[in-house]
Amino acid sequence: MADHARVQLAKLARGEKLMTEFPYLVQTWTFGGDLAMVMLAGEVVVDYSLRLKREFDSERMWVNAYVNDRPCYIPSERVLREGGYEGGFVMFRSPRFPTRIAPGVEERIMGAVHALLPAGFKVTP
């Protein structure tokens, strides 16, 4: 962690700005009403697939990760709270990221998926 801090401090000393956000692409494809595909960038934790299959028709849902980009692990709120490697420590292994991903990431991603997929795929309570 000390090495990581030195890298980030050196960036600031050179007048560089630290990364405070990065673009995250969420894509969906639908094949009529038969199949919905959700494509998420990065190494998303399993919580996303499980949640997508709860909130959308699991029989017509196909979840893909590592699509278009692989910036880092994409933790869920549960994983962020637990901490550990996927929950934040891994971010300190890369000079690219100054800190761990902020809470709220799961809701932002899920909100994008809900906005993109047609209502016919959603599970109604």
Q: What is the pLDDT of residue 125?
A: 72
pLDDT at 87 over 80: no
Domain extents in the chain? 2-120
> Residue 59's pLDDT band (boundaries 50, 70, 90)?
very high
With a threshold of 0.85, does the pTM exceed it?
yes
Max intra-chain CA distance, the chain: 55
For 64-121, the DSSP string reads E-S-S---SEE--HHHHHH-TTTTTGGGGG-TT-SSPPPTTHHHHHHHHHHHHS-GGG
